[in-house]
Chains A and B, each alone.
Chain A
Amino acid sequence: MFELDPPRQVQGDSLDTPAWRAAGCSLVGPSHHARGVGCDDAFAWARRDDWLVACVSDGAGSARFGAVGSDRAVRSISERIAERLPDALDSRCEQVVADAVDAAREQLRQLASAWGAGLNDFHATLVGAIMKGRRALLFHIGDGAAAALRKDGASWADTALSPPQNGEYINETYFLTQERWRDTLRFTPVESFDALLLMTDGVTPFALDRTRAAGAGAFLDPLLNTLDKLAPDIAERALRNLLARADVRAACDDDKTLLWVSNGSVETGSGGEGKPDVEMKEVALDVRFAAKRQRMARRGGRYL
């Protein structure tokens, strides 16, 4: 009745044009890999003139065809947006995005009925950006994140961030395949950026800081300083190396997607040199104090 693509393990691509340098990588997470399951993440981009549209998506592991949902959604949505862009990056773009999501949902619905499935079998999140020059519009349903950054010497400041949206519990999020998708579709305008990152929830635990409302400089600065000096095809391989690193895998065992876009040319200067080593920050956790309270309690103090 239906033909599934073989499970994805890794997906990589790069883009090198006068206007854009871009690289992306999706890599299966250790927990999926150990169970012989593929990567449910996907990414895609589409160009028109000097515009670039990019999307990443995380197919829900609990949905039968989550990997199909994410893959179809990113391709369909980025292409459809690129086809229907207005003549300027303004609020009209929001309607173009909503229409593209609607069309992707319709496509998935048709696939679902052909496969004897439901739209909820294709649950997938969506993080995307429409970019033109130094300006952008971020669009987002569910978790994952989009960060627009400006270079300031050897460090990068996030000028706009579209943070993850979860229910109270981290394993609850929102999908473009849900009935109430319009209520959860968020937009964030970007007035000026030098680099833009789209990521799924396998990357946000260490790419964002604890508040999840800002980027983690200790992660983003070295990353962007390195990518800034690389041609896109090399950047793509560097991204794969990064996502495959043992410390990155240990930090989060989920599938990981990281997509990088730069609107500048390859940085050949010596920026970043002389920057002090960044030390691993200890995760200070309030519950650690529990051990102290316990010891007090054992010495005859009160509990709590």
Chain B
Amino acid sequence: MGIYDQDESVPEIANLAVDNTEERTPCVLLIDCSGSMGGTPMKQVNAGLKEFERAIKSDPTTAARVVVCVIGFGFTGSEDVRIVEDWTEADLFNAPTLTAQGGTPMGKGMDMALDEVEKVKQSLRLNGITYKRPWVFLMTDGQPTDASWEKSADRCVAAIKAKQVLVWALTTAPNSADKLGRFVGPGNQVFNIEGADLSSMFVWLSSSLSAVSEGGAGESRQIPAPGPMITIET
């Protein structure tokens, strides 16, 4: 008898409802949409977002447990930081197509990401749905250009220390690692993905989210660092 085979000689427990109140893992994709991302990098990001959508939907557990929000920073005009895709369950996620324009208001972007994380936590709590620590996945090719980015970086470091959020900082520009390091704090890595196909980073993200969302209570999962790449100590 297989481990999950039914013993047909036993009376069935009929009409029993198994309501799924599975925990969620929220994830913000915080993407640099500044002018310098134009051309190949943005093409790779858009391909990566589509691949991310396919991957998180392909595994039923991940599709049921991950909630996603996409925030872009860059653009021109007054809305230089935008929610491109509002919070949605993974199985309803539609990959947006991003365009590259404008500066790099990374600080404002991170502020919005941290605000959104708190919002979704509150929403899940109100619905009686438990959750794991939310992720912010920051991908950039440059340095923050907004005036008060350091204040936002400090807020981010405090949120990481208080376990409010887990932040993955990825950059294609090694010379931006110092400033990016200010967002994650000493002892936490900035991942240099110079020369890597950006779309592959979204594959890494979806498989890591799968590993984490499937872990049980009290269980820690080891996931590979986003790579293959050099790690910069900050």
A residues near B (Cβ < 8 Å) are: 9-10, 27-29, 31, 33, 58, 60-63, 123, 125, 142-143, 166, 168-173, 175, 201-202, 205-206, 209-212, 216, 218-219, 222-223, 226-227, 229-230, 234, 237-238, 240-242, 244-255, 275, 277-281, 283-288, 290-291, 293-294, 297, 303-304
Contact = CB atoms under 8 A, between A and B. Distances in A.
Contacts of A175: 218
A219 B5 CA distance: 21
A250 B126 CA distance: 24
Given A27-B3, A62-B220, A206-B20, A303 B15 contact: no
A277 B216 contact: no
Given A281-B17, A287-B120, A61 B3 contact: no
B200 to A, nearest CB: 25
Interface of B: 3-7, 9-23, 60-61, 67, 69, 79, 82-83, 85-89, 92, 120, 123-124, 126-133, 163, 214-220
B122 to A, nearest CB: 9
A238 B10 contact: yes
A252 B92 CA distance: 20
Given A31-B216, A172-B218, A216 B11 contact: no
16 contacts: A27-B3, A28-B3, A61-B218, A169-B130, A205-B22, A206-B17, A206-B20, A218-B16, A218-B17, A234-B11, A241-B12, A244-B6, A245-B6, A250-B60, A280-B19, A294-B88
A61 B21 contact: no
A278 B16 contact: yes
Given A304-B83, A304-B86, A251 B18 contact: yes
A283 B19 contact: yes
Residue among B11, B19, B21, B217 with the highest chain A CB neighbour number at 10 A: B217
Contact of A169 (B15, B61, B133, B214): B133
B86 A61 contact: no
B129 A31 contact: no
Contacts, number: 186
Contact residues of B: prevailing secondary structure: loop
B222 to A, nearest CB: 10
Contacts of A169: 130-133, 163
Contact of B215 (A171, A241, A242, A246): A171
A238 B83 contact: no
Given A27-B3, A285-B127, A303-B86, A280 B17 contact: yes
Contacts of B18: 206, 219, 245, 247-248, 250-251, 280
A10 B92 CA distance: 36
Contact of A275 (B12, B15, B131, B220): B15
A226 B14 contact: yes
Given A210-B129, A285-B129, A286-B123, 9 more contacts: A62-B220, A168-B163, A170-B23, A218-B17, A219-B19, A278-B17, A287-B89, A304-B83, A304-B86
Given A61-B216, A254-B216, A278 B128 contact: no
A62 B127 contact: no
Contact of B15 (A202, A216, A278): A278
B161 to A, nearest CB: 14
A253 B211 CA distance: 13
A237 to B, nearest CB: 4
A299 to B, nearest CB: 14
A27 B116 CA distance: 38
B23 to A, nearest CB: 4
A241 B92 CA distance: 33
Contacts of B214: 31, 253
Given A61-B216, A171-B215, A244 B4 contact: yes
A247 B5 CA distance: 13
B4 A249 contact: yes
Contacts of A250: 18, 20, 60
A234 B13 contact: no
B13 A201 contact: no
Given A171-B215, A291-B88, A303-B82, A223 B7 contact: no
